[in-house]
Amino acid sequence: MHTVTGKVNVAVRKHKTGGNVYTAGQLRDANSIDKLIKFDDGYRVLKDLRGSPPYWEKAKRDLYAVIRQLGPAQLFLTLSTAETRWTHLLKMLSEIVDGTVLTDEEADNMTWSHKCRMISSDPVTCAHYFDFSVHHFFNSFLKHACIPFGHLKDFWYRIEFQHRSSPHMHCLLWLADLPQYGVSDTAEVIQYIDRIITCQCSWQDQELDSLVERQLHKHTRSCKKQQRKTTVCRFGFPKYPMPQTEILEPLQCDPEQKGMHTANLKRISTFLASVKPSDESLTMDDFLSAVQLDLDSYILAIRSSLKSAAVFIRRSPSELRVNNYNVHCLKAWQANHDIQFVLDVYACALYITAYVAKGSQGMSDLLCQTCDEARHGNSTMNNVEVTAQEAVYLLLQLPLKRCSREVVFLNTNQPDERVYLLKSNNDQLPDDAEVAESNIICRYSQRPHSLENVCLDDYAAYYDSRYSAEVTSNSDDEFEADDSTVTRNSGRPKRRTVARVIRTFQQTDDDPEKSARQKLMLYLPWIDEQSDLYGGYSTYAEHFQAIQDRLTQKISEFEPYKHDVNQAQEMLETANLEQQWDLLVPGVQHSELDAAAAGTVESEIHAVINPVAHGQTSSYDLAIDLGFGHLTSDSTIIRYNMPEGEYFTLMKSLNVEQTQFVYDTIHQLKTSQQSVLRFLSGGAGTGKSYVLRALRETAERFYKSSIHCWWCYCPQRTSCTSKSDIDFSQTRLRVTQHTSYTHQSREGVVD
């Protein structure tokens, strides 16, 4: 809520200046601001609202920029949860929820319903446990000196949530010095795949074999789909057996031969569908004999169904239902996972990127519904359905995505088409002061003399020090305010070790003038944008054509895979993504469909998650309990001004423990010179919000009387459900509110 309010306040300060430079004196007139062109950013103010469609749309654009610059990731890894099988988590939940300390054996022997009850009772601990496990997996496994997959250069991952509430992670990994399909020898690529990916079902090790069982696919009702009047598994199980790992290309042949191979493939699929798990003891020779084919004809039949190159792992007929895995990763993660070797940039940019950066289903559906309602005069959006652990991630600000590199957006439009952020203190500036905030293009044009030969892309990637990693940007006007004077006599800035990734508008070849201007602006050093980019020529295209050879190396450095990525993006509208996603991450997709078919169950434990069950409405203003002022329709913040009679009634309604908590906290504020940290705990409905309200009103009255002015506070970091930190800017007070996630009914609160 605070984030959205802040983004709206920033959005109303965005204007297009038409290429003119305005001073504070020119805008001093109340009506002069209307002369600027207002920038309509209503939808994109949500781009920093974690989990919203604009948030994931920006994440997708950033990921495309990473692939354009770094190339395709070599590995795509998906990690699922196994909360009912993670012994350590079950022991933690038992101690937190039930107050019982269990041994490993006791935790493993708990009933299914007992495990589910504890998991659903404490989504906070489960979410934190998964978040910690992801970080530990990166630091202790992927970055280990043994380099299980290879030397990790870069990564990008996101956390997604299933209908059953559990999170899972999708990750793209860029590794150093790996063979590349189509460039390196195919035998080297296959050798690497065999080293890290397997589907072996038995290791003659009881503990490892029990882990492999988590990789087995078991058909359910959600697996079935109709394909050419035949019922098949949408996730591609059972898999085709292979005597050795192969990378197969689509088959090019005449229609008669294609028909023969298609008929052979249908016979193969029919036989595989008839094989029961208990019958999977065939040898490869027995299998080929059963389908009446030799190995070469069998391979040709498979190739006849392919539309692009695909990897087929070495797989015996007894391993038809085992999903791909890495044995070391399985031991480390202790849960189902899927690992895929990425063959080319096309597959990485088309199917994988579209999958990992897709929007949250609940949020996307809600926005679509809101847009439809807006057409009929109703545009209210006040709720969205999310799972309990997703709510925890959103409220506690746990990371939903991470990237090893920063992504910087460079607005290469004409100056009169760019958006600028007006300074918030225009009324305090001298009449001759510029009203636009500093941005990266301005800083580049005023760079030190030592960087005269550095182009804009190099400057943004290696030198610009004003860009903040905490600020995600969609335009070049969202950087920190820079009121300091920038001189070109400054020393050479420090060069970054790891380059940032540069994202720009993707210009098409339909407008060669715009395309040429963008390349000149990015890769040719310049000081004066208007004159230097023309370079004495009548058009940008003529200038670029004359110096194209000079810029070729720099262009290939920052966008070597631009053409492939753009081509993949163009194919998105016609590609059958759902079918490819089922084959890409069968384990996650299968679990998701099963959970969706089972339906959702609203929480009966947490008032914030299910307000109706606790006598509240779905539009309940939680911000009031957290100390925010609510907003009116004209975005005017309303501060609290509780009448004295209402305040005395509130104080009288508190019980003894609640009253002691309020008075003791105020006493410490009056007497202590150190930060005051308080912990407020209690089950749902025990009055924590009343205590916070009483504490706020009492503190306001104390400070009003002591400094004889209206006192206000600034919430610095707020999160609901599990804890809320309220930082009274003048008071050194931080209160942590914790909701008990057990089934115990507790009266009052404890300090």
Instruction: For residues 285 and 298, give the distance between their C-alpha atoms in angstroms, rounded to a whole number.
Output: 12
Query: Confidence band (pLDDT; 50, 70, 90) for 415?
Result: confident
Instruction: For residues 159 and 393, give the distance between their C-alpha atoms in angstroms, rounded to a whole number.
Output: 9
Query: Confidence band (pLDDT; 50, 70, 90) for 720?
Result: very low
Same domain assignment for residues 92 and 173: yes
Instruction: For residues 411 and 422, give the distance between their C-alpha atoms in angstroms, rounded to a whole number.
Output: 17
User: For residue 508, what pLDDT is reported?
Assistant: 74
**Structural domain ending residue among the three candidates 298, 314, 330:** 314
**Structural domain ending residue among the three candidates 393, 411, 444:** 393
Residue 349 has pLDDT above 60, yes or no: yes
Same domain assignment for residues 200 and 226: no
For 432, half-sphere exposure in the C-beta direction (CA atoms, 13 angstrom radius) is: 0
CA distances, 620 to each of 123, 297, 512, 515 (Å): 22, 66, 54, 50
Phi and psi at 279, nearest 5°, equal -95, 0
DSSP string, 123-141: HHHHHHHHHHHHHHHIIII
Same domain assignment for residues 100 and 181: yes
Query: Confidence band (pLDDT; 50, 70, 90) for 261?
Result: very high
Q: Which two tokens stand for residue 699?
A: 């503190």
Average pLDDT, the chain: 77
Same domain assignment for residues 173 and 277: no
47-64: string of b/e by CB count within 10 Å (b at 16+)?
bbbbbbbbbbbbbbbbbb
% of the chain surpassing 70 pLDDT:
67
Residue 136 has pLDDT above 70, yes or no: yes
Q: Determine, yes or no, domain membership for 545.
A: no
User: For residue 477, what pLDDT is reported?
Assistant: 33
pLDDT in tens, 583-611: 665 666 666 666 666 555 555 555 555 55
Same domain assignment for residues 210 and 254: no
Rg (CA), the chain: 30
Instruction: For residues 19 and 631, give the distance between their C-alpha atoms in angstroms, rounded to a whole number.
Output: 35
User: For residue 677, what pLDDT is reported?
Assistant: 84
- Give the residue with greater pLDDT, 187 vs 484: 187
Out of 47-56, 312-321, 459-468, 569-578, pick the least confident. Answer: 569-578
Nearest alpha-carbon partner for 609 in 625, 620, 593: 620
Question: Who's near 41: CB < 8 A, 6+ residues apart?
Answer: 11, 14, 419
Nearest alpha-carbon partner for 700 in 726, 718, 721: 726
Instruction: For residues 596 and 594, give the distance between their C-alpha atoms in angstroms, rounded to a whole number.
Output: 5
Q: Determine, yes or no, domain membership for 445.
A: no
Average pLDDT over residues 332-361: 79
pLDDT in tens, 326-335: 999 999 999 9
End-to-end CA distance of the chain: 28
**Structural domain ending residue among the three candidates 393, 408, 432:** 393
Average pLDDT over residues 313-323: 91
Nearest alpha-carbon partner for 631 in 641, 619, 639: 639
Instruction: For residues 290 and 281, give the distance between their C-alpha atoms in angstroms, rounded to a whole number.
Output: 13
User: For residue 187, what pLDDT is reported?
Assistant: 95
Out of 230-244, 258-272, 517-531, pick the least confident. Answer: 230-244
Residue 35 has pLDDT above 50, yes or no: no
DSSP string, 694-739: HHHHHHHHHHHHHHSS-------B---TT--BEEETTTTEEEEEEE
The residue assigned the tokens 């087995």 is 216
User: For residue 742, what pLDDT is reported?
Assistant: 32
377-389: string of b/e by CB count within 10 Å (b at 16+)?
eeeeeeebebbbb
Q: Which two tokens stand for residue 415?
A: 């100056």
Sign of the Cα pseudo-torsion (331, 332, 335, 337, in order): negative
Same domain assignment for residues 74 and 112: yes
Out of 34-43, 115-124, 497-506, 655-664, pick the least confident. Answer: 34-43
CA distances, 488 to each of 434, 446, 485, 523, 604 (Å): 18, 6, 10, 20, 63
Q: Determine, yes or no, domain membership for 413.
A: no
Question: Who's near 577: CB < 8 A, 6+ residues apart?
Answer: 351, 354, 355
pLDDT in tens, 59-89: 888 998 999 999 889 999 999 999 999 999 9
Domain assignment of residue 154, given as a range? 56-216+322-393
Report whether 659 contacts 666 (CB < 8 A): no
**Strand, coil or helix: what is 79?**
strand
Most confident of 153-157, 354-358, 691-695: 153-157
Average pLDDT over residues 536-545: 94
Out of 49-58, 207-216, 536-545, pick the least confident. Answer: 49-58
Torsion, Cα 273 277 281 283, to 10 degrees, reads 30
User: For residue 196, what pLDDT is reported?
Assistant: 95
User: For residue 674, what pLDDT is reported?
Assistant: 79
Same domain assignment for residues 273 and 202: no
% of the chain surpassing 90 pLDDT:
37
Residue 158 has pLDDT above 70, yes or no: yes
Name the pairing type of β-strands 501-504 and 407-410.
parallel
Q: Which two tokens stand for residue 300?
A: 């040709």
Q: Which two tokens stand for residue 234?
A: 């949408």
Same domain assignment for residues 75 and 208: yes
Q: Determine, yes or no, domain membership for 653.
A: yes
Q: Which two tokens stand for residue 253?
A: 């042949």
Report whether 306 contacts 251 (CB < 8 A): yes
Q: Determine, yes or no, domain membership for 529.
A: no
Residue 153 has pLDDT above 60, yes or no: yes
Residue 453 has pLDDT above 70, yes or no: yes
Same domain assignment for residues 244 and 326: no
Instruction: For residues 83 and 64, give the distance between their C-alpha atoms in angstroms, rounded to a whole number.
Output: 33
Question: Who's near 269: CB < 8 A, 6+ residues apart?
Answer: 230, 232
Instruction: For residues 419 and 477, give the distance between their C-alpha atoms in angstroms, rounded to a whole number.
Output: 7
Instruction: For residues 667 and 610, give the distance between their C-alpha atoms in angstroms, rounded to a whole number.
Output: 36
Phi and psi at 619, nearest 5°, equal -100, 25
Question: Who's near 381: CB < 8 A, 6+ residues apart?
Answer: 366, 367, 370
Residue 519 has pLDDT above 50, yes or no: yes
Residue 714 has pLDDT above 50, yes or no: no
Q: Which two tokens stand for residue 127?
A: 């979410």
**In the chain, helix, strand, coil percent, each to 5?**
45, 15, 45
Q: Hey, which residues does 171 pair with through a beta bridge? A: 77, 157
Q: Which two tokens stand for residue 429?
A: 């500036």
Helix (H), strand (E) at residue 513: helix 512-523
User: For residue 373, what pLDDT is reported?
Assistant: 56
- As for how many domains the chain has, the answer is 3
Q: Determine, yes or no, domain membership for 661.
A: yes
**Strand, coil or helix: what is 709?**
coil
Angle between helices 53-70 and 361-374 (to 10 degrees): 120
Average pLDDT over residues 286-291: 92
Same domain assignment for residues 309 and 327: no
Instruction: For residues 82 and 333, give the distance between their C-alpha atoms in angstroms, rounded to a whole number.
Output: 9
Q: Determine, yes or no, domain membership for 693.
A: yes
**Strand, coil or helix: what is 7?**
helix
Fill in the DSSP letter of residue 12: T
User: For residue 604, what pLDDT is reported?
Assistant: 56
DSSP string, 37-62: EEP--TTGGGGGSTTSHHHHHHHHHH
Same domain assignment for residues 200 and 230: no
User: For residue 185, what pLDDT is reported?
Assistant: 93
Instruction: For residues 414 and 443, give the distance between their C-alpha atoms in angstroms, rounded to a whole number.
Output: 17
Report whether 466 contacts 440 (CB < 8 A): yes
Q: Determine, yes or no, domain membership for 603.
A: no
Query: Confidence band (pLDDT; 50, 70, 90) for 565?
Result: confident
User: For residue 51, what pLDDT is reported?
Assistant: 81
Out of 238-252, 344-358, 404-418, 528-542, pick the least confident. Answer: 344-358
Same domain assignment for residues 65 and 204: yes
